[in-house]
Chains A and B, each alone.
Chain A
Amino acid sequence: MEKKTVILAVAIGAIVLVAAIAATFFMTPAPQKGKVIYWIQIAPKDQQANFASRAIDAGVSWEPYCSDSVLAGDAHVLKWSGEIWPNHPCCVLAVKTSFLNANPDLVARITRAHIEANQWVLDALANPNGANYTLLMQMGASFSGRSIAVVQAAVEHIKYSYQLSTEVQNGFKEFTRMFIELNQTSLGQYANVEAFLADFVDTSVITAAMSVQPSEEILGEVRIGYLTGDLHQFARVVAMNATVGGGKTLYQKYGVSVISPNPAGYLNGGAVMDAFAAGVIDVGYLGAPPAILKKLNVGTDIKVVALANSEGSAILALPDIQSFDQLDNKTVATPGPSSIQHLLLLVYAKERGFEVRLKGT
């Protein structure tokens, strides 16, 4: 009896082992015919380590993580996002619609601080020898946890602007159309993309913000969310700095007390949208694509009231890969299917005649 039992146990063990070995065999798919790029989701903050270990051949990331990999010598830029899609919009300032309706004055004040911070960044960048430039770099290094050299390199490819110009709004329309084409969303209640955009963007807030005057007293409190270490959202970092505002933050200057429920920041735009849905934040900085997806798919009611930046992302590759065409049958990391970086990869790969497939399939 004991012998039979042992045989049974050994048989079970053998089945598990054989199945595992068979699984290993099947896990390596045969290479595809034709030009194929394999994508894998890896957060931008982790891409440098994966370049260093050569676990990935290329990656699409946002700043400062692009410059981080480049300055470490682990990767180089194949294409800046501005070369793929000039002036493409990227991060935005969004507000929960119910908060906007209930507190239009507070939102105008927050937006005013955002506009002023944006201008301060542009002025500081225009004078690399100035004290404000040094302060900006220090703020960027402290916020992103990267060196000043990385921050200096990063800001060179980001276009800071708050304007919701026609070009920017057309960019939002293009994102929406792309997501619809990829079956990642549908217009639902909206008759067309223009109708969705009318509900997605509120240009009146910038106009209202322009007439906002500084306030000696704090008029209200706003909870704000943002992405971890993302230098696209430099305006918020600047607006939170007391030195910039001459002893108080730009938010305080315009009568708003700002608190960050998640001081470390959110990992991606989808998480910022979830924070809106959960009622944790009133205002948030995030990429336009995840905002579009979650507004359409989940109905999270937000409005984009200002732009934060355009461009500022890149396709990077290992030093020995010299051109995008050499990425055939190679692995490219992206922040995931809801990100602008993923869309940029799809756009450029299609342009170069590549099929893009999930790695391992």
Chain B
Amino acid sequence: MSGSLTNRTQFTDRKTLLRRRLSNIFIVLVSLTVFILVWWGLSIIFNLKYFPPPDQVFQAFVKSFNVPDPNLGITMWQNIWASLQRFLQGFALAFVIAIPLGLLMGFLPWVETFSRPIVELFRPIPPIAWVPFFFVAFGAFLSPILTVFIGVFFPLLSNVILGVKSVDDSLLDAARTQGAGKLALFTKVILPFSVPYLMTGITIGMGVGWMCIVAAEWIAASGGGVGYYILVQQQVGFYDYMFAGMIVIAILGLLTVTLSGWAEKIIRSRMGML
């Protein structure tokens, strides 16, 4: 009797969940349809070549993947690959510097006292403001990578510091009572506890990174890139292709942030933080 009740409850829960998911999918579809219809309507009303309708942008989007761009001689795949490489390199650089630094700043007060003024001085500077300097100092190859690095570095650093500082004192006391030394405290308590915060930093950094790469590629980019593609289409007046490039950036940003958010969710759930 009790088992049958539990089964029925579970069935009802699953049904409710399914209904909620279907309803959410429906709302998302309606939202996208409304967006496309509004875009279409406005493009018809204004009738401007630099504000093309969605069907024209869609055609340009498809063509950009199949036919090399006449201005650059490469397809959108190659542009995506060029941007993705820069994104990963900038991200990796931020990853290897921000995490150890953040852990040290959170764990050792004197490191924080020493580093904080420098970090706080640089943090408010928008990554894009560095682009002209990076371009002249490091050239077209390194400049976009370094811009992504700046964009990802600070959210990552802040979240790692936050993670270390959020460790419950009772956890630390318990570990100390068990005889844990500084190294053990760091590796067995602080480091694992910081991981979910680190993942939050990565998710934020992913979004910022794509914004940075577009701006950086606008100054100069070696080997193309989606940001550079957008700029060139604007310069020659292929606005349908320019919008196609913007959609590609949106998709790439969405994909990477979703992927990172998913990883963050898994880790938080494993840590019992959800």
Check A19 for interface membership: any CB of B closer than 8 A.
Answer: yes
Q: Return the CB mask of B228-271 against A: 1 if under 8 Å, else 0.
A: 10001011111100000000000000000000000100110011
B72 interface residue per 8 A CB criterion: yes
Q: Please, how many residues of chain B have a CB less than 8 angstroms from a CB on the other chain?
A: 52
Q: Which residue of B lies closest to A268 (CB)?
A: B235
Q: Which residues of A contact B267 (CB under 8 A)?
A: 5, 8-9
Binary interface encoding of chain A residues 326-361 relative to chain B, with 1 for a CB under 8 A from any of its CBs, else 0: 000000000011100000000000000000011111
Residues of B close to A29: CB separation below 8 A: 223
- The binding surface of chain B is classed by DSSP as helix
| Cross-chain contact B139 with A23 (CB below 8 angstroms) | no
Contacts of A41 in B (CB 8 A): 220-221, 228, 232
**Contact between chains at B236 and A338 (CB < 8 Å):** yes
**B140–A55 CB distance below 8 A:** yes
Interface residues of A in 25-74 (CB under 8 A from B): 26-27, 29, 40-42, 46, 49-50, 53, 55
Which residues of chain B from 170 to 225 have a CB within 8 Å of any chain A CB?
188, 191-192, 195, 198-199, 202, 219-224
Q: Is A187 an interface residue (CB 8 A)?
A: no
Could you tell me the distance between the alpha carbons of A17 and B49 in the complex, rounded to whole angstroms? 43
A337 contacts B232, C-beta separation under 8 Å: yes
Tell yes or no: B135 within 8 A of A by CB: yes
Tell me the total A-B contact number using a CB cutoff of 8 A.
137
Assembly CA distance A297 to B234 (angstroms): 10
A274-317 to B contact mask, C-beta < 8 Å, 1/0: 10010000000000001001101111100000000000000000
Chain B positions 42-73 with a Cβ under 8 Å from a chain A Cβ: 49-50, 70-73
B127-158 interface (Cβ within 8 A of A): 135-137, 139-140
Are A361 and B78 within 8 A (Cβ)? yes
B residues less than 8 Å from A357 (CB atoms): 73
Residue of B nearest to A181 (CB): B70
A6 CB-CB contact with B under 8 Å? yes
- Majority secondary structure of chain A interface residues (helix, strand, loop or mixed): helix
Q: Is B50 touching A2 in the complex (CB atoms < 8 A)?
A: no
B202 surroundings in chain A (CB, below 8 A): 12
A49-B136 contact given A20-B89, A23-B89, A361-B78, CB 8 Å threshold: yes
Question: Given A40-B220, A360-B223, A361-B223, A17–B92 Cβ distance below 8 Å?
Answer: yes
Chain A residues contacting B81 (CB-CB under 8 Å) are 26
A293 and B236 within 8 A (CB): yes
A359 and B223 in contact, given A4-B270, A8-B266, A337-B72 (Cβ under 8 angstroms)? yes
The answer to whether A26 touches B85 (Cβ under 8 A) is: yes
A297, A337, A358: which contacts B74 (Cβ < 8 A)? Answer: A358
5 A-B pairs within 8 Å (CB atoms) are namely A9-B199, A16-B95, A41-B232, A42-B220, A53-B139
Q: Taking beta carbons and an 8 Å cutoff, which residues of B are in contact with A?
A: 49-50, 70-74, 78, 81-82, 84-86, 88-89, 91-93, 95-96, 99, 135-137, 139-140, 188, 191-192, 195, 198-199, 202, 219-224, 228, 232, 234-239, 263, 266-267, 270-271
The 9 lowest CB-CB distance pairs between A and B, nearest first, are A360-B223, A297-B237, A20-B92, A23-B85, A183-B70, A55-B139, A298-B237, A337-B71, A270-B235
